[in-house]
Structure 1
Amino acid sequence: MTDQQQMDLRHDEVEAGTQTGLASPSVDVTESRQNSLWSDAWGELKRNPLFWIGAVLCLLFVLMAIVPQLFARGADPRACDLANSKALPSADHWFGYDVQGCDYLANVVHGARNSLLIGVFAVVVVLVLGVVVGAVAGYFGGVTDGVLSRIADIFYALPLILGALVLLRVGPATDIPIINSRGPGAVALALALFGWMTAMRLVRSQVIAVKSSDYVAAARAMGASNGRILVRHILPNAVAPVLVYTTITIGVLIAAEATLTFLGVGLQRPAISWGLQIAMGEDSIRSAPHLVLFPSLVLTLTVMAFIMMGDALRDALDPRQRA
C-alpha cells in the first residue's frame, strides 16, 4: 500500500469515526476546549449586571421593532393634525406631538424598525466580507495576504461616515424600495462597504494564530482540504473576538445611520427614523425640546444596550479578565 493510500485510508477512518461518535483526538480536544470556553463565558455573563441590562434593553427594542403597536398605545404615526403641532407631552400623549401634529410616541416607536433593520443587515454584510476575506488572507498568507490587506487599507483611508455619505450621494436610484439610493438596504450596504475592515483584521489575526496549532497540522496530515480545515478547525476557534465586535458594531452602525439621516443623505420621508425626527426637531429645540429629546434618548439607549452586551461578552470570553 502506498503512502497516499494509507493517508486516504486514515482520513476515511477518521471521517467514519466522527460520524459514529468516535471522533479523532484532535477533534475531541478542539470541541472540549470550545465547550469549556463557552460554558465559562456563560457563567461569567450570568453574574454580570451590565450584560442583563443590555440584554433586556435589546429585547425591548427588538420587540418594539417587530410589534410597535404594543408600545404606541394604539396611536397611528401617520394620523396627523396641524392643530396639535409641537404640542408638549401630556398624560394622554406621553411624547407630545411633532411639527406636523402626529403622535410623537408612535413615531419614535415605529422608528425602531428601520434603525434595527439597517444595523442588523449591515453587520451581516460586514461579517460575510470580513470573515471570508480575513480567513483567506490569514490562512494562505504570502501574496494573497498582501493583496487583500492592501485592499482593506484602501477602504480604511475613508472614514465610515464620510465614505457612506459619498456613496449615498452618488449612488444610482433603483425601482426596488429597499435598495434604492435612499432606502434602508442602500444605507446598510453603504455602511457595510466601509465597515468590514476591522472584522477582516480580527479574523485574519486569529487565523494566523490558530493555523499553526497541532490539531490543524494533524488535520492537514490526514489529507483534509483547505476549506475543511478553515471551516471545521480554524474558524470555530477564531469566532470569539468576532462575536464581540459584531455585538458592538450593531450599535455603532445604528448611530451611523442616524447620523447620515440627520445630515440628509440617509433615509428620506415618508420613512420613519430617529435621525429624521432629530433633524426635523432641530429648528424647534427651544420651543419644543421634546422633539429632539425623545428620539435622542431612545437612540442613545439602543446604542448603549448593544455596546454593554459587547463589553460583557469581551470580558467573559477573555480568560485574562477572569484571572
Structure 2
Amino acid sequence: MTDQQQLDLRKDEVEAGTTTGLASPSVDVTKERQNSLWSDAWGELRRNPLFWIGAVLGVFFLLMALVPQVFARGADPRSCDLSNSRGRPSAQHWFGFDTQGCDYLANVVYGARNSLIIGVIAVLVILLLGVLVGAIAGYYGGFTDGILARIADIFYALPLILGALVLLRVGPSTGIPIINSRGPGAVAIALALFGWMTAMRLVRSQVIAVKSSDYVAAARAMGASGRRILVRHILPNAVAPVLVYATITIGVIIAAEATLTYLGVGLQRPAISWGLQIEAGQDSIRTAPHLVLFPSLILTLTVMAFVMMGDALRDALDPRQRA
C-alpha cells in the first residue's frame, strides 16, 4: 500500500470515528494538514520580494539591538561635548550630534534595543492573553464565552494609545510594582493590556470553526480530555492568523511606544529611545532637522519591516490570496 493510500485510509477512519492499532489517527491527519500548510506557505514566501525586504530589514534591526557597538562605529552614546551641540552630519559623524553634543548615530543605534524589547515583550503578553482567553471562550462557548467576550469589549472601549497613556499616568501612584515605573517592562505591559483583544477574537473564531471538525469528534470519541483536544488538535489549526497578527503587531507596538514616549508618558531619560530623540529634536526642526529626521526614518523602516513580513505571511497562509 502506498503512502497516499495509507493517508487516505487514516482519514476515512477518522471520519468514521474508528481506530486501527494504538495510534491516534486524528493526530496523524492534523500533522499532515499542518505540514502541508507550512510547506505551501514557505514556498509562497520564498517567491515574495516583500517578505525578503522585510526579513532583511528585521534581521538588520535585530542585530542593531543585540550588538549596537558594531553599528555605532565604536562611539559611546553618553560621551558628549557641548562644543559639538547640534553639529551637522559629516564623514566622521554620519548622523551629526544632538543638543548635548553626543554622537547621534550611536544614540539612534542604541535606541533600537528598547524599542524591540518593548515590542517583543508586549506581543508575547498579547499572545499569552489572547490565545488563552480565546481558546477557552471558543471551545467551551455558552456562558463562559459570553463573559469573556464582554470583558474583551470593555477593553475595546479604550483605544490602545489612550488606554496605555492613562495606565502609565496613574501607575506610579497606585503602587503596583509592575507599572510603578516607566521602564521598558512597564510600557510593554501597559500596551499589551490594551492590545490583546484582537488576538483573542482571532483565536476564538478559529476554535469555533475547528472544534466541529471530524477529527476533533474522533478524538473526543476516543476519550481524549478537553484540554488535550484543545492543545493537540484545535490550537495548531488556529495558529496561522495569530502568527500573522503578532508579526504586524510588533511594528504597531514599536510605533505606539514611540508615540507614548513623545507625549512624555513612555520611557524617561536617561533611557535611550527614538521617541525621546524625536521629542528632544522637535524644537530644533528648522536649525537641525537631522535630530528628527534620522530617528523618524529608522523608526519608520522598523515598523515597515514587520508590517511587510506580516502581510507576506498573511498572503502565504491564506489560500484565497494566492493567484
**Structure 1 and Structure 2 fold alike (TM over 0.5):** yes
Measured in 2, the distance between the counterparts of 1:180 and 1:144 equals 32
Change (3 A) 1:178 1:276: farther
Which amino acid letter does the alignment assign opposite residue 241 of structure 2? P
How many residue pairs get aligned? The number is: 306
Change (3 A) 1:247 1:318: same
Contact 1:130–1:203 (CA under 8 A) maintained in structure 2: yes
Per the TM alignment, residue 315 of structure 1 is displaced from its structure 2 partner at its CA by 0.2
Percent sequence identity over aligned pairs: 85
Alignment map for 1:10-49 (pairs within 5 Å): 17=22, 23-49=23-49
Deviations 1:128-171 (A, max 9, x none): 00000000000000000000000000000000000000000000
Alignment map for 1:259-278 (pairs within 5 Å): 259-278=259-278
Which amino acid letter does the alignment assign opposite residue 237 of structure 1? N
Aligned to 1:53: 53
Measured in 1, the distance between the counterparts of 2:261 and 2:177 equals 17
Aligned to 1:10: none
SS in 1 for 2:101: coil
Which amino acid letter does the alignment assign opposite residue 239 of structure 1? V
Per the TM alignment, residue 24 of structure 1 is displaced from its structure 2 partner at its CA by 2.5
Per the TM alignment, residue 177 of structure 1 is displaced from its structure 2 partner at its CA by 10
Larger mean Cα displacement after TM superposition, 177-186 or 90-99? 177-186
SS in 1 for 2:52: helix
Aligned to 1:257: 257
Per the TM alignment, residue 172 of structure 1 is displaced from its structure 2 partner at its CA by 2.5
Aligned to 1:148: 148
Aligned to 1:234: 234
Measured in 1, the distance between the counterparts of 2:114 and 2:59 equals 16
Which amino acid letter does the alignment assign opposite residue 157 of structure 1? A
Aligned to 2:9: none
TM-score w.r.t. length of structure 2: 0.92
Aligned to 2:212: 212
Aligned to 2:315: 315
TM-score w.r.t. length of structure 1: 0.92
Alignment map for 1:75-94 (pairs within 5 Å): 75-94=75-94
Larger mean Cα displacement after TM superposition, 220-229 or 270-279? 220-229
Per the TM alignment, residue 251 of structure 1 is displaced from its structure 2 partner at its CA by 0.2
Aligned to 2:291: 291
Alignment map for 1:113-128 (pairs within 5 Å): 113-128=113-128
SS in 2 for 1:152: helix
**Residue 132 (structure 2) pairs with residue 132 (structure 1):** yes
Contact 2:168–2:179 (CA under 8 A) maintained in structure 1: no
Change (3 A) 1:188 1:28: same
Change (3 A) 1:160 1:71: same
**Residue 170 (structure 2) pairs with residue 170 (structure 1):** yes
Measured in 2, the distance between the counterparts of 1:175 and 1:272 equals 25
Contact 1:173–1:181 (CA under 8 A) maintained in structure 2: no
Which amino acid letter does the alignment assign opposite residue 234 of structure 2? I
Measured in 1, the distance between the counterparts of 2:29 and 2:121 equals 35
Measured in 2, the distance between the counterparts of 1:280 and 1:88 equals 16
Aligned to 2:305: 305
For the aligned residue pairs, the C-alpha RMSD in angstroms reads 1.8
Which amino acid letter does the alignment assign opposite residue 310 of structure 2? G
Per the TM alignment, residue 179 of structure 1 is displaced from its structure 2 partner at its CA by 5.5
Deviations 1:14-41 (A, max 9, x none): 8x84xxxxx3322221111110000000
Q: Which structure 2 residue ranges, 5 or more long, are not aligned?
A: 1-18
Q: Which structure 1 residue ranges, 5 or more long, are not aligned?
A: 1-12, 18-22
Which amino acid letter does the alignment assign opposite residue 69 of structure 1? Q
Aligned to 1:223: 223
Per the TM alignment, residue 322 of structure 1 is displaced from its structure 2 partner at its CA by 1.9
SS in 1 for 2:172: coil
Aligned to 2:246: 246
Contact 1:50–1:309 (CA under 8 A) maintained in structure 2: yes
